[in-house]
Every structure is written in C-alpha cells, then in structure tokens.
A = this chain, B = another copy of it.
C-alpha cells in the first residue's frame, strides 16, 4: 500500500516527468487525511475552499445540478487525482465535489501548493499541465455526450475509466473494479439509468465487456475501442498503450 504522497505522485507521473527534486518537494506537502462515506459532498457549489482535495482511495466525482434538479456528473476521480486544483485560481466553486464510494482523501492547503509552485518552476508547469489535461477531458466529454450514440457513449466512458485506472495500477489486466451505479453512469453520460442498463446488456451480449457486480472485464479491447470511437490522445498520458 502506497503512502498518500506516493499515490499523488504516481498519478502525476502518468502524465508528467518529475525529477527527484520535484518528488521531494511534493513529499513535503502537508496533508490532512480524512475518511468520507459514499455519496457525500466534499465541497459544494458556492463554497470558497482554502484547501485542495486529493483522492487517496475510492471514487469521487464532480457534478452540477441544473434547473429542475437533474444532475450532470462532469468528471470521475480516482486515487491520486486532485479534482479541485481549480480552486487555487478561482475563488468560488462553480460545481460540487463529492464521493461516489467511501473514500480517503487528503486536504492540502492552497498556500502550501502555491509555495511549492513558487519554489519550483517545474512544478508550476506540472500543475498547469494537469489543469490543461483536465480541460482536454472535458472537451472529449462534450463531444461524447453531444455527438455519440448511447452505446458508443457508454463504451467510451468505460474505455476512459479503464485506461485511467489501468495507468495507476488499479486494473488487473483487463479486469477492474468500477463501483459506479447505473444511475451515476447515466448522470455522467446524459442518459437514463434504465437506458444505461440496456446499453450495458448490449455490450455484454456483444461480448465486449463482462460484468460481475462492480467488477468489469474487457473481453475485446480492440472492438470496444472501435465501437466507442475511443482514441486516448486526449488523456495526454506518457506511458505505453494498453496491450490488446
């Protein structure tokens, strides 16, 4: 089991090259650890956090509530992610940050992160890059929700979650645990929970994904990618492609 700092560093290194000094500086960040139950808010829209939150275990998400009370999840977050680095530069939360599953998180004072960016130009660049990658993922979600069929849309989300979990070592080969309910997948893809169910069934019927409880196995990565129109460039990962 990695330490909190190493979980954060591992995630950053999926998309950034760090040198020893960078890692040491990150290890110096003060962390306040907290355990949060599932389906709870960490920061709410309108709040003005003074700390950033890093996910250490479990799954988090960011979401908005639109008029009429419908929910749109705009991102999922896995261990190592810092979902609200934006609060470093934008005082007021324009969305909610919450947990999907029970989670351990680390709270890091803004001041400490600003200090580390001031001391090390390279880390300022790293944080900027992380922010840009986040933006890139949002763009892909816009395209996914706006222009893909329900089937491709859900498949695409599964591809993305699988690849992101894979790169941080949370997938065993083609098998990974994705503890996200159909209702939540619906809120992320702009579909109804019922239709998520039918779509997952189709993926199962086509022998693309096998699901047992929360554990999914990709049966045919090549065909799934193709169906999903999944081209992972937008994640801007450094590492190797996933073996087919």
Query: Which residues of A are interface residues toward B (Cβ below 8 A)?
Result: 62, 64, 66-68, 70-72, 74-75, 86, 88-90, 92, 94-95, 118, 121, 124-125, 127-129, 131-136, 138-148, 152, 189-190, 229, 233-234, 236
Contact = CB atoms under 8 A, between A and B. Distances in A.
A24 to B, nearest CB: 22
* Copies assembled: 2
A145 B148 contact: no
Contacts of A134: 135
Contact of A92 (B125, B135, B233): B233
Nearest to A144: B66
B138 A233 contact: no
A133 to B, nearest CB: 7
A64 B132 contact: no
Contact of A132 (B71, B86, B144): B86
Contacts of A62: 139
A190 B136 contact: no
Classify the interface of chain A: helix, strand, loop or mixed.
Answer: helix
Contacts of A89: 125, 128-129, 132
Given A90-B132, A90-B136, A131-B132, 19 more contacts: A62-B139, A64-B143, A66-B144, A67-B148, A67-B229, A68-B229, A86-B132, A88-B132, A90-B129, A90-B236, A94-B233, A94-B236, A95-B139, A118-B121, A131-B131, A138-B139, A142-B145, A145-B146, A147-B190
Given A124-B124, A147-B190, A136 B70 contact: no
Nearest to A236: B90
A109 to B, nearest CB: 17
Nearest to A149: B68
